[in-house]
Amino acid sequence: MKLFIADDSEMMRERIRELVLAVEGIELVGEAGDVRASIKGIMDLKPDVVILDIRMPGGSGLDVLRGVKGHTTPLIIVLTNYPFPEYKEIAIKLGADYFFDKSKEFDEVQRILGRMLQGKEAGKTVIRES
């Protein structure tokens, strides 16, 4: 499964990298630290899954969602330190499949990826979680 990380913090990207690469079957195809590079990377690399932060230079993760909506359909996991209900509502409307709080639900990403690889999350027929 091809995965792309979009987060402005190099330290956080490294932490996410360690988390996801511990899941057998994950191939990290790209990373970006700002909105423009994230949209370009997602459009060019066509990953199966994107892990997306909300706060990023050049806009926000919501702008990334708007930028790729209708052009590519990866499973989107929003992983943020800003888990405000209004962000969650907008992200889900824009096509995010999951919305997690980095400080409380970081390990949920690994669980979701494991379920996807087992076929339980195949094809965007997921239940949107908190």
CATH architecture for segment(s) 2-124 = 3-Layer(aba) Sandwich (3.40)
**Tokens 């970006």 -> residue:** 32
Q: How many CA atoms lie within 13 A of 35 on its CB side?
A: 14
CA distance 64 to 56: 10
Residues 108-122, mean pLDDT to the nearest whole number: 82
Q: What is the pLDDT of residue 121?
A: 54
Query: In angstroms, what CA-CA distances link 51 with 12, 116, 118?
Result: 11, 14, 19
Instruction: Quick: pLDDT tens for 11-56.
Output: 999 999 999 999 999 999 999 999 999 999 999 999 999 999 999 9
CA distance 5 to 38: 8
What's the per-residue H, E or C state across 43-55?
HHHCCCEEEECCE
Could you tell me the residue ranges of all domains in the chain?
2-124
The per-residue DSSP string of 41-86 comes to: HHHHH--SEEEE-SEETTEEHHHHHHHHTTT---EEEEEES---HH
Residues 96-102, mean pLDDT to the nearest whole number: 94
